[in-house]
Structure 1
Amino acid sequence: MMPWRIAFIGLALSTGAAAAAPLSERMQCIRDNLPDRWVARMSVQAVDVGGGETTHTLVYADRRQPAARTVETSVQFLAPESLRGVAHLYRQRGDDRQQYSYLPVIGKVREVTGAAVPAAVLEGVPGLADLEALWRWPERAAISLGSPGQADGHAVQAVRANRRVGEGDAAGFERFEGQLDLRTCLITEARLYAVDGTLRQSMRVDRRSLQAFGPRWLPRRIELLRTADGGRAVVTLDAIRIDPPFPDASFDPRRFHQAPLAVMLTPR
């Protein structure tokens, strides 16, 4: 994600008491909560504004080196049958991004360059693109924290952000509103508003799906209440491994599509 990116999933907070903490502490906890190495099998069920339904199943592997500002993401599609075997490798160092794609019908890897490089990982999968957009959006925005409170018996804190977009008479401010769960270190709600104040995208974590992996928490089910095209989606993480030993080919631009990532998630 998540890249939350879906790697994504851990826009984290302090696991301490609900007392207000400086923004710098919250942001440090965001970095601390995100696994440096993880792999998951996920399914995405989406309904577009016209009622059309799609389901994607894929394996998502993420490896990061914070000191080097490097993130590598390998994705392999399992379903639908028309996408089975399609694989992508995303490599990012600082602001520099590279993408490699493998299409079974062609039988070879190609590097995606220029304007064809997507602004977000998996932007072609309804729901995942929206999830990543929501979690990445505050990165370059002015962020503020509200007072701690309670929601459904959980200690939470509001997070708000805005950023200027456009030029001249067309300039304005987009707005982000979210809710942070202070115990699990996760953003459990997020809403993105356009310059004119209309709701563009929103998501909600199913708190019943929260699962601890050592000191980290991840949600197993995330609801996209509104996608950019006016639809909705549900992202389910069916299997997760944290800090796994990745096969050598996993992030190799020549062989990433050959790595047996799905096998890593098979019960032994």
Structure 2
Amino acid sequence: MSTIKNIIKEHVTWRSQILKLAKADIIKTYSGAALGWAWALVKPTITIFVYWFAFSIGLRQGGEINGHPFILWLVAGIVPWFFMSDMITQGAGAIRKYKYLVTKMKFPVSTIPTFVSLSKFAVHLILLVIAIIIFLAFGYRPDLYWLQLPFYMLCMLLFFIFWALFSSMLSAMSKDFLNLVKSFTTAIFWLSGIMWDVNRIHTEWLQIILKFNPVTFIASGYRNVFIYRTWFWEDLQGLILFGITFVIMLILAAWSYKKLLKEIPDVL
């Protein structure tokens, strides 16, 4: 608990610097390109189009899902995935990317994954606005279920901040861990229900195992908001499993921070 309190204290003390560095990270990511910010939208747009074309035209498996157009079902699940996939890899490499803040400045290490997360989250907000416009164009109007969208967004942001802290600490100690994380990203995508409905699996124990995946919970949550019009407490099993995973990740983040903090400057 003392480690968690220290992490919180660092974030409160350095809150203005965190926001400034998050803005700087966004600028750094897209600076030097003629299209600039547009690149944040080009890649997701192309990816969505490719998957829609492959499943709807090529494989002819992209019909309506529970009475909803496949393209909308795809957009609802894949928009949060773009943030989560960036955080899985770039979050894990956050401390290595900004190692000068650790080796040349007296900067709180715990805040580095946070401002990287916030910069990716800003891009997510832009994609989310575009997704909402798409839903409005298809005649889907805002309703009370949309009020729970901030809940899923907060769950996603907090979980991957802790993931980034845990994984970036380990990646700072060993680049092999970072390479291992990158190699698993594609597997996580296909095992997380982004392109298929986890609830269609009839083997109960297998469905429970898959629902332990926080990516599955978040993607399903966004679909509950926009597609299925279901409150988050109605999927009590998924909520409990995510809560367990969240607590485990919080403990791992605090443990890695406490154990590795003093060693990282020398390793980097």
Bigger strand fraction: 1
By relative contact order (CA 8 Å, sep 6+), the higher-ranking structure is 2
TM range (shorter): under 0.3
Q: Which structure is higher in helix share?
A: 2
Structure 1 length as normaliser, TM-score? 0.27
TM-score by length of 2: 0.27
